[in-house]
Every structure is written in C-alpha cells, then in structure tokens.
Amino acid sequence: MVWAVLLAVLTNMSVRTDPPTVREQRSLDQAGPVVDRAIGELARAAGAAGLLELSPPRIAAGCRVTPFAEGARLRREVGVLAPVGTGKAVLDGIADRLPATWRAGVGSGLDGPELHADAGEFVAVEGRPTVDGRVLLLVDTGCRPVGSGYRPAQPTAAGPEAAALTAALAALGRPGDTAPELVTAPCPGGGSARTARSAGGPGPAASPAALAPLADAAPLLDNPPVYAYRTGPVTVLAELVPDDTRLAATVGCPS
C-alpha cells in the first residue's frame, strides 16, 4: 500500500510539473502561441527590408496522433527576399539572427540549402529557397491533439500596409472595395509584423509597369510573374498570374 500511495503521489507531481516529453502532450491551442511567436522571430531575423509576406495560418485536420485518436497540424509561412543565387547566404543570415536556443543551422538538402531549427514545444522550423527569388520559411506543429483549437491573434486597425495594398490594386485597375485579409505576428521587441493580402481572383491582365511608379526605388524583385517593391515602410509583393493576380503588402518588425 505504501508503494502504491508513493507511486500515485509521484505520478501526480510529474503530470503537474514535468515538461512535456513528446509532441502528443501539447495540444494545438497550446502550440499556437509558440507558432505565432516563431513567425515574429523569423520576421525580425529577415529584417524589415527582406520580409516579403506573412502567409495566413493553415490548419490540416484528420491526421492521426495515435492509431486511435485524430488530431490536426498548424502551419504558418514567411516569405523572404532572396535573389537567385543568394539563397544560402540569406538562410545563413537568418539562422545567425535567430535565438541561440533554436539551434538553427543551414545544411545541404536534396534540392539545395535548407534551414532547420527548433522553436520549442516540438514546433519545427524549416526554410529553403524557391526558384523565383524568394526563401520560404515554414513553422510546423506536426500532428497533435486539437484541444480547444488554434485562435489566431486578431489584428487591430489597418496600418500603412492596407493603404499600400489599396494603391497597388488601383494601379492594376482592380476593385478595392473588398476588405483585405490581415495577417499578423508578434515581434520579439514589441509591436507586430503585418501583412494585408488581396483575395485574388479574375481580373484584367496585369503588368509590373503599372506598379513601378509606386516604388521608392528600383524593384526588389522583378522575376515574372513575381514583382516586389518598397514604398515607405511597406514591401509590396505581386504575383501577376493571368486571371489570378495576388497582392500582399507587409510591414516588418520595428527596428
């Protein structure tokens, strides 16, 4: 009986005080804030001039936590400027500016350089160059119990990113009466990184020449169909695909 009581006490203490040892011990609602903070860290590491876009959170349900329990995984992405040929240098710079506890490093993958890091709480970070002058950074929870579910932070009133998006839509002759999708992430030093995104969809043929007058200087990226430029504190990214033009205007973390 003494052994049984001792075992019960130790089990209760372990449940209450020991850190999780596997991903299945942290639900999606517990991992969500870790993912959001990781996106903010990546935005800071990319730098305001290098940050192109914060993508909306994506939740994929239906994975298996165990053979008997379903779960879901949360993914968020960050797009970073990396002109062709500079992908590894950009990834190395980002890795160097991430927290030491992440143990970030860049190695060789099957298709080129890859960044790998651990944001804590079993949240993985990966990054690799694309073929159009960008680096894509992915934060992934893996499959885990849903719990009460992921609740993204609600952005406050629109800022300069919304005005830059409206100007770009007008220059392309596209309607701007639909409220943009706002995506945000907390910056490590306070404030937030923010992206305003257009809904896309059919519209008139678009050309980078229509956006050039809005830029403060030469374009950051001119690799059709992708075009990016800076206007004030905002980076505008355009994917000028026929009948499906997409725009994103982003403000990075405060310096």
Which pLDDT tens digit goes with each residue over 180-223? 889 999 999 899 999 999 866 666 667 889 999 999 999 999 99
Q: Which residues pair with 193 in a beta bridge?
A: 185
pLDDT value at position 255?
A: 62
Question: Hey, what are 79's tokens?
Answer: 């797009």
Which pLDDT tens digit goes with each residue over 104-152? 999 998 889 999 999 999 999 999 999 889 999 999 999 999 998 898 8
What value does the mean pLDDT take over residues 225-234? 95
Question: Hey, what are 109's tokens?
Answer: 């993958």
Task: Respond yes or no on whether the N-terminal peptide bond of residue 20 is cis (omega within 30° of 0).
Answer: no
Residues 6+ apart with CB under 8 A from 4: none
Neighbouring C-alpha atoms within 13 Å toward the C-beta of 229: 20
Which pLDDT tens digit goes with each residue over 30-74? 999 999 999 999 999 999 889 999 999 999 998 999 888 899 999
Cβ of 241: how many Cβ atoms within 10 Å? 13
Integer Rg of the chain from CA: 21
Locus of tokens 């945000």:
184
> Are the beta carbons of 252 and 48 closer than 8 angstroms?
yes
Among 135-144, 173-182, 227-236, name the one with the lowest average pLDDT. Answer: 173-182
**Nearest to residue 172, comparing CAs of 224, 231, 235, 247?**
247
- % of the chain at pLDDT higher than 90: 62
Helix (H) / strand (E) element for 70: namely: strand 69-81
Q: Does domain 20-140 have CATH number 3.40.50.150?
A: no
Q: Where are the domains of the chain?
A: 20-140, 160-251
What value does the mean pLDDT take over residues 151-179? 82
Select, from the ranges 81-90, 152-161, 199-208, the one with the highest average predicted confidence (pLDDT): 81-90
pTM: 0.87
pLDDT value at position 203?
A: 62
